Each structure stands twice: as structure tokens, then as C-alpha cells.
Amino acid sequence: MEMLFIIDLPGSLKEYKDSSIAMMRAAHARGHAVWICQMHDLHLWEGRVVVLATQVDIQSGPAWRIESDSRTRLLADFSAVLMRKDPPVDQDYLATTHLLSLTEEHGARIFNRPSALRDYNEKLTIFHFPQFVAPTLVSASKDLINGFLDEHGDIIVKPLHAMGGEGVFRLRPEDPNRIAILDTLTRHGEHAIMAQRYLPEISAGDKRIILIDGEPVPHALARTPAPGETRGNLAAGGTGRTQPLTERDEEIARTVGRVVREAGIFLAGLDVIGDYLTEVNVTSPTGFVEIAAQSGFDVADSFIAALENSVA
């Protein structure tokens, strides 16, 4: 097969832990041709979506790619197109998903489905599964958020379109910066944010559970906050350790998996704290490398094998 990965600037990827590179290595090892591009390399030309793509040979070590052929091709000519651009899900991102939807009409196989990337906001999707959600408020109103804080006494606030722990704050009623934080995050009441009751179970780790074609990987990556931190994200200094899924993890994963698979979300990363689902990541879920290194379960190879079956 020929696989096209739509990624961030290649030089910005951290080779030693990047899940997209792990996917490419697995695809290359299984005999598939690997091509890469960025969102701005997509063009709508005479009613068809074309892409300026570069074929790469995937290597081990920091110099992970050797670029060879580079040319403009019809997007629908690839066996599979993997949309792996990191958030934010901004206007450029949404425009790209529209181009990808157009090329689906000409037979392209896009993973994840572009309509699902638009419809399944990574923060708001949890409300499709209210039985797994801790007390949560979404609002741009400082009055409502302050009332939620007064009710629960300890909350987490975060933007709806960021990643890696960016813009995440823990607030208590006595925090002298609470008004400034809410003004900044809501842009003075103009942009909705999410407020969730603080879950002390974060001390045991913010678990990343990976779903491949609706099925959970058997090991979760529990990301524990650094000393003095609230966020477990590895990008925010958290420490990851793998652990088998609990019975509750399995319940959450299989329930969510059935729904997102039907929507065309081939790969998802669930965030679970204690017994609660806190996010459903669909843009560029990570954790492949850490889970494989600690558990021996080759997530990337399993992903490519499942992709082969789906395309076939």
C-alpha cells in the first residue's frame, strides 16, 4: 500500500517518542510506501484534491527519514490517508477536513474520517457518554464558572481546542488569580471553556487508553503529574507508566469504541482519571512509543495491521 501522512513540520516531531513516526516505521517495516505532507500541501484543482507529497524511507535514530520522490498526486490515489496534524482545530484545520471530505467522494480512504474530526470535539465528546463524566460545565460566563467553583470548591478549567495541557489551570475559591485566569481563558467572556470538578485520582495518573478500530489496546499509559503540577500530560512534565486496563477502563473503552468506530474514528485516545472519562482525543492521539517500550505490546504495528484490514 501507499500511505500518506498529513503531519506537522517534520523537523518539529520528536523522533524518540512521536506516534506518527512510530506508525511510519511500522508501515515501512510491513512493506508499505510512506509519503508525507503538510496541510498547506493540499490543493483543490479542477474539482479534484491534489497534494504535493514527498516519499520517505524511514530510518532508526534521530535522522528518521530520507526523502526521495516529491511530486503532485491525486489524493485519492493513495491507499490510505492519515490525518495526523496536531491541534488547534482552527479555521485552517477545518478547511483541510473539508478538502479531505471532498476527496472521499472520489474514493479516498481517510483516517480519521474528516466529518468525525469536525463533529467530535476532543473536550465535548465526553457528553455523548454522560454515565462516565464527572461534574462538568462548559460556558463563557465568569459568573457561571465562579458559581461552579463555589459549588465544588476545587476545579480544573481548560480551553476547548488546545492540547498537551496547554491552558489548563486548577482553581480554588481562595486563588487570588481566579478572575485573571478566567478573563484570559474566556477572553473576557467571549469564548466558552470547560470546567470540571477536580479529581484527586489524578495523583495515580491520567490514563491514556488507545482505541484502534473501536478496540482498546490492553495497556493504558498512566501519566502522573510532576511534583507541584496538576497536569499529567507528558508535554507538561508528567511521567508515564503502563498498566493493564481495569474493569472500569474496559467498560469505558468498549462503550466509547462502539460509538466512535461507527462515526469513522479509526484511532482515538481516551483520557480517564479514576473512573471518569475526561477527553476523547481524535486528531493525533499519542502514547504508542511509551506503551510499546514498557509493555512490549507493539501499538504501531497493531495499528498498521488493523489499517491493512480496513483498507482491504
Q: Is 208 assigned a catalytic role?
A: yes
Whether the Cβ atoms of residue 258 and residue 214 lie closer than 8 Å to each other: yes
Specify the CATH architecture of the domain 2-117: 3-Layer(aba) Sandwich (3.40)
Within 8 A by CB and 6+ apart from 120, the residues are 260, 263, 265, 280, 282
**Class of 124-128+201-307 in CATH:** alpha beta
Is residue 23 pLDDT above 90, yes or no?
yes
Residue type, 124: L
Q: Is 77 assigned a catalytic role?
A: no
pLDDT tens-digit series, residues 126-146: 999 999 999 999 999 999 999
pLDDT tens-digit series, residues 241-287: 999 999 999 999 999 999 999 999 999 999 999 999 999 999 999 99
Q: Is 48 assigned a catalytic role?
A: no
Backbone angles phi, psi at 61, to 5 degrees: 90, 175
Would you state the pLDDT for residue 236?
60
Per-residue exposure over 65-82, b if at least 16 CB sit within 10 Å of its own CB, e if not: beeeeeeebebbebbbbb
CATH assignment, 135-197? 3.30.1490.20
Q: Between residues 239 and 33, which one has the greater pLDDT?
A: 33
**Identical fold, 124-128+201-307 and 135-197:** no
pLDDT tens-digit series, residues 67-108: 989 999 999 999 999 999 999 999 999 999 999 999 999 999
Q: Which of 104, 213, 271, 290 is catalytic?
A: 271
Would you state the pLDDT for residue 226?
75
Going from N- to C-terminal start, the domains of the chain cover: 2-117, 124-128+201-307, 135-197
pLDDT tens-digit series, residues 290-300: 999 999 999 99
Q: Which of 231, 233, 249, 290 is catalytic?
A: 231
Short-list 161, 138, 133, CA closest to 148: 138
Distance, CA of 185 to CA of 129 (rounded, Å): 26
Q: Is 118 assigned a catalytic role?
A: no
- Residue 235 pLDDT grade (very low, low, confident, very high; cuts 50, 70, 90): low
Q: Is 158 assigned a catalytic role?
A: yes
Is residue 228 pLDDT above 70, yes or no?
no
Instruction: Find the Cα–Cα–Cα–Cα dihedral 10, 15, 20, 24, rounded to 10°.
Output: 90
Q: Is 121 assigned a catalytic role?
A: no
Q: Which of 85, 109, 208, 301 is catalytic?
A: 208
Q: Which of 122, 279, 290, 301 is catalytic?
A: 279
Q: Is the pTM of this model over 0.75?
A: yes
